Amino acid sequence: MAKNSWNDYSATASSNTDVGSIDISEGCSPANINDAIREVMSHTADVVAGTTALTSLSITTGVFGDGTSSAPSLTNSGDTDTGIYFSGANEVSLATGGTQRLSVNSSGHLNHNGSASADINALTSSTAITIDMSTAQNHSVTLAHNTTFDISNGTAGQTGSILITQDSSGSKTASFSSKFKFAGATAPTLSTTASAVDRIDYFIVSSSLIHAVATLNLS
């Protein structure tokens, strides 16, 4: 195959017997070597100019210019106002559409310029519901059983909500494992009318301790 760009070059030296259809196999003319070098220089210039996009590239380290929100340092050839840039000393930022969206400074402070949302993970009703907190921040379930809630994989500092909806029959009850701590050391009694909605807001203190507040009968 003719080696018409960097993407065509082989890591096996002996397989590179031509460059841009110029024969560079053993015994080729000196003129071919001169022409091949010029062709390689042209291929290199195409990559530098962005005319040729590399299909794969592995870089172990690299140094990039600061960039700006409208022209990030690390970007996509087809979307050059979206990417990562260095917005200040010891600070890195993410831009989309030429606008700064996220930044992290030298103190680890995260600044988010815009709205944020988290998915709501749908749980399956059963007589024992263990919420895997590593899957999402927010969770929801429609109760078809009397149940006990527990958590797994809790990470300190995580916050979110658990939406609990009664099914069309209602009258389902819920209790909470000892990991849940409510105000006054009293777990809430859920609303039991059909289709009633309650919300548990939580703050995870540790993998075995979750502070929770209940808002009942939302309507």
pLDDT tens-place values along the chain, 219 residues long:
788 999 989 989 999 999 998 999 999 999 999 999 999 999 999 888 878 888 887 888 889 999 999 999 999 878 999 999 999 999 999 999 999 999 999 999 999 999 999 999 999 999 999 999 999 999 999 999 999 999 999 999 999 999 999 999 999 999 999 999 999 999 999 999 999 999 999 999 999 999 999 999 999
Q: What is the distance between the alpha carbons of residues 4 and 8, in angstroms, rounded to a whole number?
A: 6
Bridge partner residues of 164 (DSSP): 141, 198
- Position 47 scores a pLDDT of 86
Q: How many CA atoms lie within 13 A of 94 on its CB side?
A: 8
Number of alpha carbons in the 13 Å side-chain half-sphere of residue 23: 6
Q: Which residues pair with 174 in a beta bridge?
A: 147
* Structure confidence at residue 97 (pLDDT): 97
> Rounded to the nearest 5 degrees, what angle is found at the Cα of 166, between the Cα atoms of 149 and 204?
30
Question: What pLDDT score was predicted for residue 167?
Answer: 98
- pTM higher than 0.85: no
Cα 54 → chain centroid: 24
pLDDT score of 178: 97
3-state secondary structure 128-147: EEEEECCCCCEEEEEECCCE
Backbone phi and psi for residue 204, each to the nearest 5 degrees, phi listed first: -85, 120
Phi, psi of 185 (to 5 degrees): 55, 30
**Cβ of 134: how many Cβ atoms within 10 Å?**
10
Residue 32: its pLDDT value, please?
A: 92
pLDDT at 74: 94
pLDDT at 176: 98
Task: State the pLDDT at residue 2.
Answer: 81
Q: How far apart are CA 13 and CA 200, in angstroms?
A: 64
Q: Is 153 helix (H, G, I), strand (E, B) or coil?
A: coil
pLDDT, position 54: 81
